[in-house]
A and B are shown apart, each in its own frame.
Chain A
C-alpha cells in the first residue's frame, strides 16, 4: 500500500476526492434509476432488482463518504424496491424524486 495512505491527513484528502467522484457518479446513477423506473412502468418487474442494487450502493457509499441526506434518500428507495414489497411505481417515483433532490442539494458541497 502507498505509504501516504497511512497518514490521516492523506486519508482525509482521498475521502474528499472520492466524495467528489461519488457526487458525479450519482448523476449517472439517477439516469439509470430513471430508466429502471420507466421499465417498471412498462411492466418489467425485474427492474426493481437493479433499482434496489443501485440504491443500496448509493446509500452505503454515501454514508461512508459523508453524504447523509443522499444516503437516507437512497435507503428509502432501496426499501421501496426491496423484495419484501410489491412494487409501487408511484412510491418508487416519489422516493427517486427525493433522491434527486438530495443529490442536487448535497452533491453541490463537493
Chain B
C-alpha cells in the first residue's frame, strides 16, 4: 500500500456537518477521490462496489458504530483487506490500543484540523505495510 499512492477514500460519519467538512478537507488533496457514507450500515452497502483504498470510520455512530462496522468488514472476503482508520474523540492510550487490537490501521483524533486532515491521512497511508 505504502508503495502506491492513496487514491480513494470512503469517509463514514453520522454527523452531516462533520462529513461535509471532512470531505472538503480531504478534497484539498486533488489526487484523492472521496466518497462518504452516513452510517456503518450504508458503508457496508457501498463498500463492495466502491472498493476504496482506505475507509475512515467515526467510532461513535448510532446503529453500527465504527468497531462493529470494522468487525463486519473483516467477516466479508470482499472487504476484509481494506484498511480502516478510526476517528475518535476518545483517543486515550488504552482506547487506542483497543482499536489497534481490533485491526484498525490507525487512529485520527477528533476534533481534526480541516487544513491538516488530508496530510494526516496520507501520512498514515504511507506507514501502512505493503
Contact = CB atoms under 8 A, between A and B. Distances in A.
A11 B24 contact: yes
A64 to B, nearest CB: 4
Contacts of B111: 60, 63-64, 71
Interface in A38-72: 53, 56-57, 59-61, 63-65, 71
Contact of B17 (A1, A53, A61, A71): A61
A64 B110 CA distance: 8
A94 interface: no
Residues of B in contact with A, size category: 20 to 34
Interface stretch (A14-22, A29-37, A99-107): A14-22
Given A1-B27, A60-B15, A15 B110 contact: no
Which of A7, A21, A75 has the largest number of chain B CB atoms within 10 A? A7
B86 to A, nearest CB: 14
A11 B112 contact: no
A8 B21 CA distance: 12
Contact of A60 (B18, B20, B24, B30): B18
Nearest to A53: B62
A91 interface: no
B46 interface: no
23 contacts: A1-B34, A5-B24, A5-B27, A8-B28, A11-B25, A11-B28, A11-B115, A14-B24, A18-B17, A22-B17, A56-B60, A59-B89, A60-B15, A61-B15, A61-B18, A63-B110, A64-B17, A64-B18, A64-B21, A64-B110, A64-B111, A65-B17, A75-B89
Interface of B: 15, 17-18, 20-21, 23-25, 27-28, 30, 34, 60, 62, 89, 110-112, 114-115
Given A59-B89, A60-B111, A71-B111, 15 more contacts: A5-B23, A6-B30, A7-B28, A8-B28, A11-B24, A11-B114, A14-B21, A15-B21, A18-B17, A56-B60, A60-B110, A61-B17, A63-B89, A64-B17, A75-B89
